[in-house]
């Protein structure tokens, strides 16, 4: 079945809240449009807003030696940005930048903390989600160490498609190289291989997935492992 933007008008965490509380929670959120490569957080900076993506996705990136970076997580409509607040930590541990442009619901941190205090259901759900994120971070670390660039790129594209709910999205070689922690030539070689196998089309940073099942076969097992971790953790 084709994946469309209309399939994800809401965020799955918010939708899982009890109906009465969900309406109040949504009333404190502001719909915003996120643009490609927009920076939403930096390590060591105070968290001013939390984001619940609906049709966008946000890359979680850790800096390395001040001159390089590596993506360690991806947040879409299954999650939120700012989960460290559940632990009472108001400082961002990672960089966060928009990987897939689209829409999100934004909430002021002060309001979010108030809602946490008012709702045991929200606290319980976000604690489960935090556990999921920890497992996915560990999976991402292992993936970076043991899997080749082509498989990791396929996984990255599948994860982006799942979260943007679109077969087509933007991603330059420079951006993909940065989040995968490899040289640009490595991404070019991997993307060319996927394109030659007719799994994707790629032109001037515009990517389109042509054969999802083929891309899943080209991906490493970490893609399935991530999904399984979420299902186990969130139910």
With beta carbons less than 8 A apart as the criterion, state whether 147 and 78 touch: no
Measuring CA to CA, how many Å separate 196 from each of 55, 71, 189, 192?
Answer: 29, 26, 10, 6
Nearest to 33 by CA among 88, 100, 127, 103: 103
Q: Is residue 137 part of a domain?
A: no
Same domain for 110 and 154? no
Q: Is residue 175 part of a domain?
A: yes
Q: Is residue 170 part of a domain?
A: yes
Same domain for 113 and 153? no
With beta carbons less than 8 A apart as the criterion, state whether 77 and 53 touch: yes
* pLDDT score for 67: 67
- Give the residue from 67, 101, 119 where a domain finishes: 119
Q: Tell me, what DSSP letter sits at residue 61?
A: E
* pLDDT score for 64: 82
What range defines the domain where residue 10 resides? 5-119
CA 111/CA 117 separation, integer angstroms: 10
CA 210/CA 49 separation, integer angstroms: 36
Same domain for 151 and 105? no
* pLDDT score for 20: 86
Same domain for 94 and 186? no
Q: Is residue 226 part of a domain?
A: yes
Same domain for 65 and 150? no
Same domain for 29 and 87? yes
- Give the residue from 71, 103, 119 where a domain finishes: 119
Domain tally for the chain? 2
Quote the Cα angle for 192-193-198, to 5°.
95
* pLDDT score for 51: 98
Length of the chain, please? 235
* pLDDT score for 9: 59
CA 35/CA 118 separation, integer angstroms: 32
Q: Is residue 161 part of a domain?
A: yes
Q: Is residue 131 part of a domain?
A: no
With beta carbons less than 8 A apart as the criterion, state whether 57 and 75 touch: yes
Same domain for 109 and 170? no
Structure tokens at 218: 């080209």
What residues have CB less than 8 Å from 88, skipping those under 6 apart?
none
List, in sequence order, every residue forming a beta bridge with 147; answer none if it has no partner.
none
Q: Is residue 135 part of a domain?
A: no
* pLDDT score for 15: 95
Q: Is residue 129 part of a domain?
A: no
CATH number of the CATH domain containing 39: 2.60.120.10
* pLDDT score for 160: 94
What residues have CB less than 8 Å from 30, skipping those under 6 apart?
105, 106, 107
Same domain for 9 and 112? yes
* pLDDT score for 2: 35
Same domain for 99 and 194? no
Q: What is the pLDDT along the chain (235 residues), one digit of tens a residue?
A: 333 344 345 899 999 999 989 999 999 999 999 999 999 999 999 999 999 999 999 999 998 876 678 899 999 999 999 999 999 999 999 999 999 999 999 999 999 999 999 999 999 999 999 999 999 999 999 999 999 999 999 999 999 999 999 999 999 999 999 889 999 999 999 999 999 999 999 998 899 999 999 999 999 999 999 999 999 999 7
* pLDDT score for 65: 77
At residue 191, the 3 state secondary structure works out as helix
Same domain for 95 and 194? no
List, in sequence order, every residue forming a beta bridge with 207; answer none if it has no partner.
169, 202
At residue 59, the 3 state secondary structure works out as strand
């Amino acid at each position: 079945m084709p994946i469309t933007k209309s399939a994800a008008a809401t965020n799955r965490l918010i939708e899982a809240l009890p109906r009465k509380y969900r309406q109040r929670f949504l009333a404190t959120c502001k719909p915003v449009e996120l643009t490609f490569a927009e920076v939403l957080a930096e390590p060591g900076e105070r968290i001013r807003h939390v984001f619940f993506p609906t049709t966008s996705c946000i890359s979680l990136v850790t800096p390395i030696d001040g001159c390089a970076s590596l993506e360690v997580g991806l947040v879409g409509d299954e999650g939120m940005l700012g989960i460290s607040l559940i632990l009472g930590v108001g400082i961002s541990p990672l960089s966060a930048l928009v990987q897939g442009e689209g829409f999100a619901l934004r909430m002021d941190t002060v309001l979010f903390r108030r809602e946490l205090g008012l709702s045991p259901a929200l606290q319980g759900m976000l604690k489960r989600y935090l556990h999921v994120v920890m497992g996915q971070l560990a999976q991402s670390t292992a993936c970076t160490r043991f899997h080749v660039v082509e498989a990791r790129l396929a996984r990255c594209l599948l994860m982006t498609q799942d979260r943007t709910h679109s077969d087509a999205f933007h991603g330059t070689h420079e951006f993909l190289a940065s989040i995968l922690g490899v040289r640009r030539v490595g991404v070019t070689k991997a993307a060319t291989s996927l394109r030659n196998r007719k799994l994707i089309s790629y032109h001037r940073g515009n990517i389109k997935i042509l054969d999802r099942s083929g891309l899943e076969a080209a991906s490493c097992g970490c893609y399935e492992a991530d999904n399984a971790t979420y299902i186990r953790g969130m139910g």
